[in-house]
Amino acid sequence: MKYGEISHFSHPRHTLKFDYAEAPFKCDGCKEVGIGSSYKCTATSCNFDLHTHCAIPSPTIVHPFYTKCSFQFLSRPPGPEARYCNACERGVSGFLYHCKLCGFDLHPCCAKLPMVLNDGDIKLYLYPKVGAPCHRCGRKGRSWSYRSSCKKYNLHVACVKEMLVDSWHEIYEGKGKGESEPESEPNRGIPSLKARLESHSHHAKSSKGKAQKCCEMAALALQFVVSAILGDPTTLIAGLVGTLISR
């Protein structure tokens, strides 16, 4: 359920309005990158954004990967020690879901990652670990992973996040917040993601039969995984991500 306009404890000065961001933004709640559906401050002089998962969180959640855990939504990490998301391995510095019993932590968007991504042409399943190597790092296991139904294509959630960090480093550092980009450099950093997709396309051309078809869907799979990690796993946003990547 989406609310058109809300008040939020993290930004009491102004109300937040449901918005559709066609460019990446840094969520002021969890401090991670987002795209697509969001809640944006209604004040024109204020640049405050939240993922929908951060703006309207569930007080508590359970996750199929951790059946004995009960995760509670917190506005900041508990305790003085550094915390890390069990899904993507990235540090937790803002909003999170935390299990007091086991000490596990999840970014809100990671906690809400769909178990299945399916647009009719490709189907990707989320696993806590995959026994096959990741397309990006070549390693097995590690973080949560999305795996294609043909079992030829695997992507660690951690690796996709690293790709985003490499490409949009200025967003994670806060440089994109409240600063205008030079007109000659729109969506700075996107070409590195484009290179990733082109490498998948090259691999597809050298494959045959069923494996070739799966590899040809690798670029589309990456778009959907990126979209899900950024907080909006929809066909429309996947297409938008693809457009940004292809620039």
Is residue 201 pLDDT above 50, yes or no?
A: no
Q: Is the dihedral of CA 62, 63, 68, 69 positive or negative?
A: negative
Amino acid letter, 12: P
Q: Which pair of tokens denotes residue 220? A: 């589309």
d(CA 113, CA 229): 7
- Same domain? For 130 and 158 the reply is yes
Q: Describe the crossing of helices 235-245 and 218-229 by its angle, rounded to 10 degrees.
A: 110
- Same domain? For 145 and 239 the reply is yes
- Same domain? For 235 and 121 the reply is yes
Q: Please name which of 11, 44, 20, 26 lies closest in space to residue 175, comparing C-alpha atoms.
A: 26
Q: Which pair of tokens denotes residue 230? A: 């950024």
d(CA 7, CA 123): 37
Is residue 116 pLDDT above 50, yes or no?
A: yes
Q: What are the distances in angstroms from CA 55 to CA 16, 30, 51, 244, 246?
A: 9, 10, 6, 25, 30
- Same domain? For 180 and 124 the reply is yes
- Same domain? For 160 and 228 the reply is yes
- Same domain? For 107 and 27 the reply is no
Is residue 173 pLDDT above 70, yes or no?
A: no
Q: Looking at residue 130, what DSSP letter applies?
A: -
Q: pTM score, two decimals?
A: 0.80
Count of domains for the chain: 3
- Same domain? For 130 and 237 the reply is yes
Which one is predicted more confidently, 235 or 106? 106
Domain enclosing residue 200, as ranges: 116-245
d(CA 246, CA 84): 32
Give the residue carrying structure tokens 């020690």: 81
- Same domain? For 25 and 146 the reply is no
Which one is predicted more confidently, 71 or 122? 71
What's the mean pLDDT when you consider all of the chain?
Answer: 80
